[in-house]
Structure 1
């Protein structure tokens, strides 16, 4: 069922600790044979969206497919034409309308297979038709930065998600991960730091302002850590 797009409570959900096992179980509970459920995963850069999405889909086997918003990055040539390449990753460097149309096709389930795009970080470009989503797959997990933005075409996305999780690992952890990721793709430590605290941080602040629209705000923790926190809350 599509989530209502009516008036929303301004209250942000409380941050909750959850391990992968718990989140996999929650995703598995969304699977209904013969139906299609769309789970959105949102968070600022470095929050662990891709990692969690991949873990869910791997655990659920052929019952789930991962589709990323990053597949809708505008091509580098187009970003150059628009003068936006230095801000790649900002909200206006994506094909938001194309992503909305993909979600509509995925929800409709009236095509044998829908092909989604995939972002290749080694190329820094999107590859079209790289992710097949067969009609009989009951769960689509889609992750990205801007799924809860309310401006322009973006505001249509929330109504196309059955449920949405916002990942919030804490700023120290998130920035450490982000700097490490930038360095793994060839940036120097200084460049990685500047990017993470510069344009990426501006994007993160926009994303964080949208978290009130999520169904759950989650800090993903190790399973034993999650159990320890649960014991503390119930003791």
Structure 2
């Protein structure tokens, strides 16, 4: 999804949220490999200083903690994130305090670890864009995410393209191809089915048919 392929109607809709008055939060949900990160980055780039991107992936639990909990083999499942922390951050972002910059975590794909305090959100930024798998999930603390978002888009990409991109992403980050294919079939696709269950709760479904870069979400 190159910058020239960003649909103008999506940019207009995001600008409409910016113009709506107080700070708004736009969520972009979708299955692993659907292109969430790419779309979110493009929107924020198009809006310039009016928007900041705060990905859900910054709330991955650290690898050491996943291993302690016995969940490392399911990394990416709902219980491998700090959902309560994500809800707390969104709550702060909805009501910015004058003069207070909020710092959000990011996820380093090379390290495969979250990095605290990576993203600065000044109080005068009118739109926060957040993206991730479980923005529309309705179990446990995740059920509190959707009410904190002013609008949510569900991003779809055809399964074959999405799976191919996921495999390539895992290979690019060190997995052997056979291992990457097993991981996608066992873990990523199980998560994709869970994510798809929330599709009907989105305000807008955005369907993509063109391949996007390997490292997008």
TM-score scaled by length of structure 1: 0.84
Structure 1 unaligned runs (5+)? 1-17, 223-235
Would you say 1:61 and 2:48 are equivalent positions? yes
1:80-112 residue CA offsets vs partner (Å, 9 max, x unmatched): 110111111111000000000000000011152
Look up the match of 1:194. 182
Q: Paired residue for 1:14? A: none
Hey, which bits of structure 1, 4+ residues long, moved more than 4 A?
Answer: none
Q: What stretches of structure 2 of length at least 5 have no aligned partner?
A: 211-217
1:182 and 2:175 matched: no
CA shift, 1:178, in A, is 1.1
CA deviations over 1:45-83 (Å, ceiling 9, x no partner): 000000000000111111000001100001111111101
CA contact (8 A) 1:42 1:145 kept: yes
Aligned-pair Cα RMSD in Å: 1.4
Q: Are 1:20 and 1:221, in contact at CA under 8 Å, matched by a contact in 2?
A: no
> Which one has the largest radius of gyration?
1
CA contact (8 A) 1:40 1:164 kept: yes
Equivalent runs, 1:1-235 vs 2, <5 Å: 19-32=6-19, 35-110=22-97, 112-220=100-208
Aligned length: 205
Question: 2:6–2:39: 8 Å Cα contact kept in structure 1?
Answer: no
Conserved? CA contact 2:151–2:203, under 8 Å = yes
1:90-146 deviation line (CA, Å, top 9, x unaligned)? 110000000000000000111521100000010011110100000000000000000
TM-score (norm 2): 0.90
